[in-house]
């Protein structure tokens, strides 16, 4: 009877422990051991930033402290997009964006504005807007000048136009191109410049490292704007990339963008480990090391362009727990230099090693 009771207890215990373990695994998968890092992103020879989420800054002290401790530049992940700042034709809502700016100012960080013009994140009042060409032009101008004016002296730089090209190098058939023609891009830069002549103005897009046709189209646009005297000061390369992207492709991308002579911002960096969407993939030391090597080579190439053109590198989000990748692509992934427990990964050391 005693043996039987003990057996039941043992079975019960191992069952409950098993459940507890399983539950813990689901919430917080075991992480690979993190290396000891020597140095800090704050000591990088150019600004190193992250895109931040305003509700995490507000509600998660650990997140907020990490952002304050590690980064010298801040981009709002969503808080400065059109729908966030300008939800109805006559309403601007600055609460979230102002909070990010205040945190940056209180902690001596640069703020990069993202983004004045995009085909996504538009409020319905814009997508439903009825008006002639002049009315659309006013809408574009009013939005840009009101927003840039509001943040004048606080936001150092702007992504003026985001993602205007398709993968085949043609202009995306966005609502802006439909209503105003592709040369609205030039006027968007002029409007921003009129509202804050000191702000550095960027054209931002993705794909430079994996699509030479698109890259050429972007560079043609940028060079055309430059030659016409349009106030453009830099190019944002989003660089949402993967651990197995070739160094040759990344180098061609960075060096050809630098050849414009404009400032180069690696504006939305992340290095995914699960580009093929494998639902069962797990994070391993070898993947972590491959990722660290890719971060290092990106940073190393970036550091080799002329100093005056090194505007900075910004990661898109802060840690693997808040990365946009797993939710956007419905898959496990670990794209950032901090793990989901906010611990520095091998990738962090990779970034530091890139400037050694
Ligand atoms: C993403 C955000 O991370 C998401 O939270 C949001 O739902 C959609 O936008 N390129 C960009 C960024 O320029 O603005 C995008 O950010 C990621 C891709």
Local confidence pLDDT in tens for the 356 residues of the chain: 444 444 444 444 444 443 333 333 334 455 788 888 888 999 999 999 999 999 999 999 999 999 999 999 999 999 999 999 999 999 999 999 999 999 999 999 999 999 999 999 999 999 999 999 999 999 999 999 999 999 999 999 999 999 999 999 999 999 999 999 999 999 999 999 999 999 999 999 999 999 999 999 999 999 999 999 999 999 999 999 999 999 999 999 999 999 999 999 999 999 999 999 999 999 999 999 999 999 999 999 999 999 999 999 999 999 999 999 999 999 999 999 999 999 999 999 999 999 99
Residue nearest to atom 3 of ligand 1 (CA): 324
Give residue 268 CA to ligand 1 midpoint distance, Å.
Answer: 9
Q: Is 320 in the pocket of ligand 1 (CB under 6 A)?
A: no
Residue nearest to atom 9 of ligand 1 (CA): 78
Q: Is 77 in the pocket of ligand 1 (CB under 6 A)?
A: yes
- Looking at residue 32, its pLDDT comes to 84
Helical H runs in 259-345?
285-303, 324-329
Nearest to 270 by CA among 175, 349, 335, 343: 335
Nearest to 85 by CA among 74, 95, 77, 75: 95
Residue nearest to atom 6 of ligand 1 (CA): 78
- E strands within the chain? 48-52, 73-76, 110-117, 157-162, 200-205, 234-237, 240-242, 263-272, 310-315
What contacts 295, CB < 8 A, 6 or more positions away? 271, 337, 347, 350, 351, 354
- Looking at residue 29, its pLDDT comes to 55
> What Å distances lie between residue 255 and 159, 161, 207, 342, CA to CA?
20, 22, 14, 33
Ligand 1 atom at minimal distance to the Cα of residue 267: 13
Buried b (16+ CB within 10 A) or exposed e, 54-88: bebbeebeebbebbbebbbbbbbbbbbbbbbbbee
Ligand 1 atom at minimal distance to the Cα of residue 53: 5
- Looking at residue 117, its pLDDT comes to 99
- Looking at residue 37, its pLDDT comes to 85
Is residue 313 classed as helix, strand or coil in its secondary structure?
strand
Query: In the chain, how many H helices and how many E strands?
Result: 14, 9
- Looking at residue 38, its pLDDT comes to 84
Buried b (16+ CB within 10 A) or exposed e, 123-141: beebeeeeeeeeebbebbb
Q: Is 162 in the pocket of ligand 1 (CB under 6 A)?
A: yes
Give residue 33 CA to ligand 1 midpoint distance, Å.
Answer: 30
Active site residues: 163, 268
How many C-alpha atoms does 324 have within 13 Å on its Cβ side?
13
Is the bond preceding residue 25 a cis peptide, omega within 30 degrees? no
Encoding tokens for residue 125? 């009042």
Choice from 78, 159, 163 to test ligand 1 binding pocket (greatest atom count within 8 A of CB): 78
Q: Is 210 in the pocket of ligand 1 (CB under 6 A)?
A: no
d(CA 81, CA 122): 8
Give residue 78 CA to ligand 1 midpoint distance, Å.
Answer: 7
Give residue 19 CA to ligand 1 midpoint distance, Å.
Answer: 36
């Amino acid at each position: 009877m005693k043996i039987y009771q003990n057996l039941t207890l043992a079975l019960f215990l191992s069952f409950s422990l098993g459940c507890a373990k399983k539950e813990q695994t689901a919430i917080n998968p075991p992480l690979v051991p993190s290396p000891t890092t020597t140095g800090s992103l704050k000591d990088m020879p150019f600004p190193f930033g992250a895109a931040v989420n305003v509700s995490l800054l507000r509600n998660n002290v650990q997140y907020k402290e990490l952002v304050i401790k590690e980064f010298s530049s801040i981009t709002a992940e969503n808080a400065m997009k059109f729908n966030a700042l300008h939800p109805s034709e006559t309403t601007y809502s600055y609460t979230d964006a102002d909070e990010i700016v205040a945190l940056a100012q209180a902690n001596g960080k640069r703020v990069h504005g993202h983004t004045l013009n995009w085909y996504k994140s538009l409020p319905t009042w814009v997508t439903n807007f009825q008006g002639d060409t002049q009315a659309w032009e006013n809408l574009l101008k009013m939005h840009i000048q009101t927003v840039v004016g509001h943040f004048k002296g606080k936001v150092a730089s702007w992504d003026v136009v985001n993602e205007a090209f398709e993968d085949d190098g043609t202009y995306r058939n966005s609502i802006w191109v439909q209503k105003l023609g592709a040369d609205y891009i030039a006027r968007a830069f002029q409007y921003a410049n009129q509202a804050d002549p000191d702000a550095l103005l960027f054209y931002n897009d993705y794909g430079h490292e994996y699509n030479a046709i698109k890259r050429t189209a972007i560079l043609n646009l940028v060079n055309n704007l430059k030659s016409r005297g349009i106030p453009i000061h830099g190019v944002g390369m989003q660089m949402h990339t993967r651990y197995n992207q070739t160094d040759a492709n990344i180098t061609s991308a960075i060096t050809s963008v630098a050849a414009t002579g404009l400032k180069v911002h690696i504006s939305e960096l992340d290095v995914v480990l699960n580009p093929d969407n494998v639902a069962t993939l797990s994070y391993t030391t070898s993947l972590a090391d491959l990722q660290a090597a890719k971060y290092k080579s990106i940073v190393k190439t970036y550091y080799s362009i002329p100093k005056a053109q090194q505007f900075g590198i910004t990661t898109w989000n802060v840690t693997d727990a808040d990365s946009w990748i797993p939710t956007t692509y419905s898959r496990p992934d670990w794209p950032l230099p901090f793990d989901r427990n906010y611990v520095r990964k091998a990738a962090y050391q990779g970034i530091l090693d890139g400037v050694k």
